[in-house]
Chain A
Amino acid sequence: MVRGSRLTGVIAAATLVAAAVLAVGCGSTPTTGSSCSKTWKVGLVTDVGKLSDKSFNFDSYKGVQDAQADSSLCVQGRAIESSVESDYPKNIGQFVDQKYDMIVTVGFKLGDATIKAAKANPNIKFVMVDYGDFTDNPTPSNLVGLLFKEDQPGFLAGALAGLLTKSNVIGAVAGLQTVPPVVHYVQGYENGAKYTNPKVKVLKIYQPESGAKDFNDPDWGKQQATTFFGQGADIIFGVGGNTGNGGLLAAKEKGKMCIGVDVDQYVSYPDVDSCLITSAEKHLDKAVKTAITTMVQGSFKSGLLTFEMANDGVGLAPYHDFDSKISADVKAKIADVQAKLKAGSITTGVTS
């Protein structure tokens, strides 16, 4: 059994490696629309948070799927998930090689790779979700950045937390500090809480950069939220994909309140419904679909598309289970803050 079977072992090992590589290689398969004279191929590249984050990447891809479901647009969508940052140019390159019409890159961190690819491939339209830093003007004419005023829903969520906290201590468990939208949410949250409750203390933590676990480490997020509970916090704002989701889960298990991010997490992450008072939303699906529609209809314009309270590009999700527990007085105050943000009569105090 033993002698001379070394070769067999090597072959067995090689087969396993091949199987593993193949397994990594296959992604989701696209479905094709019918009765279209031209099918617009739209490819989406996620950041390392992956489609399973149930918020940011998930909802951006929903914009592509919505466009695909809309038969008038004749769109065929596909997504590639990035595992590490070095995947970004490679994954964008896959869609370039397959002659896609539009490539959507999800997340601030893909900015550099996207600009590079846009310059090299002027015939392909590029959409960057969450990126607006066009310091190297002029912007390539085939590139549009989708920008959200995250500080506004963050401010509104903070205003609600400030009114609902009993301990006057609230927390935020966040993704990377180097990603501006994350910081906008957290600073807006802090300022909003202090706007409605000057006594409130806001504990916050940003995840240290670690590669594959950026925005994808719920265990870490859970530990941080648990630490905040020890400091007296009774509301946790989870800002940062699966990392933030860990914070929400800790709140649910300890019977505290929690606030979701990017999408209505009552729908996307039902495990934590019982603690979710609301979610600070940016309507990613709507924004991505808008960008795709401009391409199909021939009205694509390079530069920036900004989504804010005034054009309903950001907002607060419904209260769901807490609808009956939140007093009419609090609801009125939140509606008032929202109206003032919309009208521009108050600002969030977040500048960068």
Chain B
Amino acid sequence: MTDFLSQLDPVSLLSITLITATPLVLAAMGGMMCERSGVVNIALEGIMLTGAFIGYGVAFFTHSVWIGLAAAIVSGMLIATLHAVLSISFLVDQIVSGMVINILAVGITGVFYRTYLESATTVGPGTFPHWDVPVLSAIPVIGPIFFQNQFVTYAMLILIFVVHFILFRTVWGLRTRACGEHPRAAETAGINVYFVRYVNVIASGALAGLGGAYFSLQQIGNFLPNMTGGRGYIALAAMIFGKWTPLGAFAASLLFSGSDQVGSRLQSVFHVPIPLQFLGMIPYVLTIIVVAGAMGRAVAPAAVGIPYKKG
């Protein structure tokens, strides 16, 4: 039993799970702010990729991961603004606009990476430092999991509560949800639907841009073409599974990334004689089971995806 426990090593398992859930949670919360105001944002993948690229590029040339971080967030907001202009002002189908941004992001970041960064074999800008929170990091179990992390993971943990508070405890949150449920009624009540939607879409860009910094500036200290590898889409699944709430999205993200880690451990540590192709399937099978109904009904905001026309 003690042998099993030391092999399972639950503290490190949970710690890695929390770290790898970081970009999922951030992107899911971005998608949530967007959709709560009535705009679908499948561009999260492209926004994260752009954030990862711009963050790395700026950090590379300024030799500061912090300037890189700011650039990642700003670039996320800019791309999100593009999505907002297309889908809110120009009434373009929101899925089409999001898809355009995703395709664009893969192409643009890949080309600029190959042109300017790939051949640079000098040492990269490094990664965010590990910060141990004084006192708290010394607590057994809790400390190593929650209080010995890097910037983006801490930011994610704090933002869960911030986003929850904004959406459900402030006037702004109420207006946001009104625009997502019944924009016409919101307009009648004197809410500027366009403004609310714009702000929420741009805020989602900031969250996803921060999520992008996780890939290049927190984990690897480098950029690789298409390095987000579809996590923006998994984040959307986490958002739906979490029923458009920050805490729900957090739990869903932990489930997705945790099942991934368990699958790996079955192969490497426990030597389970199952072909690793099957172990690799675990997160996806779990996603299907969960989304197919094990979780009960998920009800999207009523007006999500419908372009709003004034008057």
Contacts and interface: CB of A to CB of B under 8 A. Distances in A.
Contacts of A230: 9, 11-12
Contacts of A6: 90-92
Nearest to A23: B107
A70 interface: no
A12 B96 CA distance: 12
B268 A228 contact: yes
B194 to A, nearest CB: 9
A24 B16 CA distance: 34
B261 A223 contact: yes
Interface in B227-244: 227, 229
Contact of B9 (A27, A52, A212, A231): A231
Contact of A270 (B13, B91, B121): B121
Interface stretch (B153-161, B246-254, B273-281, B287-295): B273-281
B104 A17 contact: yes
A228 B12 CA distance: 10
B130 to A, nearest CB: 8
Contact of B269 (A51, A52, A231): A231
Q: Which among B126, B229, B281 has the highest number of chain A CB atoms within 10 Å?
A: B229
B104 A16 contact: yes
A22 B229 CA distance: 21
A204 B268 contact: yes
Contacts of A9: 86, 89-92
Question: What range describes how many residues of B lie at the interface?
Answer: 35 or more
Contact of A206 (B7, B124, B267): B267
Main secondary structure of the interface of A (DSSP, over half): helix
Contacts of A24: 106-107, 110-111
Interface stretch (B169-177, B182-190, B218-226, B298-306): B218-226
21 contacts: A2-B89, A2-B309, A2-B310, A17-B103, A22-B107, A24-B111, A50-B225, A52-B113, A52-B118, A54-B121, A83-B226, A177-B276, A205-B268, A208-B280, A227-B261, A227-B265, A230-B11, A231-B9, A249-B220, A249-B221, A270-B121
A218 B229 contact: no
Interface of A: 1-3, 5-6, 8-10, 12-13, 16-17, 19-24, 26-28, 50-52, 54, 81, 83, 177, 203-206, 208-210, 212-213, 216-219, 222-224, 226-231, 242, 246, 249, 253, 267-268, 270-271
A52 B225 contact: yes
Task: Give me the 6 closest cross-chain CB pairs, A-B, nearest first.
Answer: A208-B280, A9-B90, A23-B107, A205-B268, A230-B12, A20-B107
Interface string B98-137: 0011011011101101100010011110110010000000
A218 B222 contact: yes
A8 to B, nearest CB: 6
B289 to A, nearest CB: 18
Contacts of B309: 2-3
Nearest to A226: B16
Nearest to B310: A2
A3 B91 CA distance: 9
B97 interface: yes
A10 B264 contact: no
Nearest to B97: A13
B263 interface: yes
Given A208-B276, A208-B277, A213-B229, A218 B107 contact: no
B147 interface: no
A63 to B, nearest CB: 17
Given A2-B310, A50-B225, A219 B215 contact: yes
A118 B309 CA distance: 59
A212 B232 CA distance: 15
B259 interface: no
Given A1-B89, A2-B310, A249-B220, A271 B123 contact: yes
Contacts of B113: 52
B123 A5 contact: no
A32 B13 CA distance: 53
A268 B130 CA distance: 25
Contacts of B118: 51-52
A303 B221 CA distance: 42
A216 B224 contact: yes
Q: Which among A10, A219, A228 has the highest number of chain B CB atoms within 10 Å?
A: A219
B7 A231 contact: yes
B50 interface: no
B245 interface: no
Given A208-B280, A213-B229, A223-B261, A8 B90 contact: yes
B224 A52 contact: yes
A177 B267 CA distance: 12
B75 interface: no
Given A2-B91, A212-B226, A219-B219, A20 B263 contact: no
A242 B110 CA distance: 16
B187 to A, nearest CB: 13
